[in-house]
Amino acid sequence: EIVMTQSPATLSVSSGERATLSCRASQSVSSKLAWYQQKPGHPPRLLIYGASTRATGLPARFSGSGSGTEFTLTISSLQSEDFAVYYCQQYSDWPKTFGQGTKVEIK
């Protein structure tokens, strides 16, 4: 099973600042990496797939990068609606494992 490790567990950021979230795979997943956003009481929302392709309608302030085992989600200028938990997921191999999540909170 491919283990996905996200860091940090919690990220405290002020509105308007840049947020950088990391995700590491225990073995190469090529570019088969997705990022999801989840707000309390809501299902996850797909943000990024293929490591860097934004989902339909996603604002350009969200960007994904990386390949192999190291990936990054960057939010260039945090808006109030961006405070949430973010998960990465690999879909290179079964089971499709998720990271443990990074909570982005208001500083």
Partner 1 sequence: EVQLLESGGGLVQPGGSLRLSCAASGFSFSSYAMAWVRQAPGKGLEWVSVITNSGDSTTSADSLKGRFAISRDNSNNMLFLQMNNLRPEDTAVYYCAKDQPTQMYPYDSGSFDYWGQGTLVTVSS
Contacts (CB under 8 A) with partner 1, residues 58-97:
87, 89, 91, 94-97
Phi and psi torsions of 89, nearest 5°: -145, 135
| The only residue of 36, 66, 84, 104 in contact with partner 1, by rule CB under 8 A | 36
| The only residue of 2, 21, 25, 34 in contact with partner 1, by rule CB under 8 A | 34
Closest CA relative to residue 65, chosen from 4, 22, 19 = 22
The side-by-side arrangement of strands in the sheet containing 85-90 is 10-13, 102-106, 85-90, 33-38, 45-49, 53-54
Q: Does 18 bind partner 1 (CB under 8 A)?
A: no
| The only residue of 11, 44, 66, 78 in contact with partner 1, by rule CB under 8 A | 44
